[in-house]
């Protein structure tokens, strides 16, 4: 087992309960525009948003297109005439208020920060993530937070991880571990950068992607046994 020193954590879906935060923000936004916030509408938004983020992670579209089109497509399919850019701004403002934690994340980070240097690596939008980490109880435990929009590159691009490495004092790639829930973003990014990675896979999903994972865990607590 390597003697890791630098732990690079993804945020949403790994430490933060993005699903809960997103649902609060989305329902509040839909209510503001007097759009039904029933399960059918919520599911439609999730489907549109997930498809766009997958295309973004693959480098097929940029962030501006993603943020505009997710509500654009939603309004088109609901036959609504709202301004998708304004809807997205309202949604992101709502989202910036929420930083609900996943189970075990606070406990595990409080333990790990005593021995390791912890960092956040996230593709979330700058305005939203800065707001969320301003109210997140985990923030003081991390040495730094690297938001892709601030850096001009995103996961899984090697350039993103190169920029992160350059910004961390004394960074040693042989002593770094990427921890995240996304194969296409976190694990692929680690592969591209030549870093070890741990796939947080609480639902025990199959890895059909061809992406290599150094480790795989079902619970964050397993990191305590995994790390020396």
Active-site positions read: 10
C-beta of residue 123 within 8 angstroms of C-beta of residue 148:
yes
Q: Are 82 and 71 in contact (CB under 8 A)?
A: yes
Task: Spell out the residues 6+ positions from residue 121 whose beta carbon is closer than 8 angstroms to its own.
Answer: 8, 9, 10, 11, 146, 155, 160, 161, 164, 178, 180, 186
Distance of CA 217 to the CA centre of its chain: 17
Alpha-carbon distance 196 to 175, whole Å? 9
The per-type count for the chain, helices as H runs and strands as E runs, is 10, 6
Q: In sequence order, which residues have a C-beta less than 8 Å from that of residue 134 and are 6 or more positions away?
A: none
């Amino acid at each position: 087992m390597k003697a890791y020193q630098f732990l690079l954590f993804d945020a949403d879906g790994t430490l933060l309960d993005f699903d809960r935060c997103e649902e609060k923000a989305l329902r509040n936004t839909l209510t503001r525009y007097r759009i039904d916030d029933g399960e059918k509408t919520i599911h439609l938004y999730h489907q549109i948003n997930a498809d766009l983020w997958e295309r973004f992670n693959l480098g097929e579209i940029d962030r501006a297109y993603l943020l505009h089109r997710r509500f654009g497509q939603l309004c088109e399919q609901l036959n609504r005439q709202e301004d998708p850019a304004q809807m997205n701004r309202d949604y992101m403002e709502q989202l910036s208020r929420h930083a609900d934690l996943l189970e075990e994340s606070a406990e595990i980070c409080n333990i790990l920060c005593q021995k390791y240097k912890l960092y956040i690596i996230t593709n979330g939008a700058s305005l939203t993530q800065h707001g969320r980490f301003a109210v997140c109880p985990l923030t003081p435990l991390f040495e730094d937070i690297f938001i892709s929009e601030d850096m001009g590159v995103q996961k899984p691009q090697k350039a993103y991880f190169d920029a992160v490495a350059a910004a961390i004092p004394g960074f040693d790639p042989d002593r770094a571990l990427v921890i995240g829930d996304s194969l296409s973003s976190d694990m692929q990014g680690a592969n591209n950068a030549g870093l070890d990675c741990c796939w947080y896979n609480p639902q025990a999903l199959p890895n059909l992607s061809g992406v290599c994972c150094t480790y795989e865990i079902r619970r964050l607590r397993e990191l305590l046994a995994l790390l020396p």
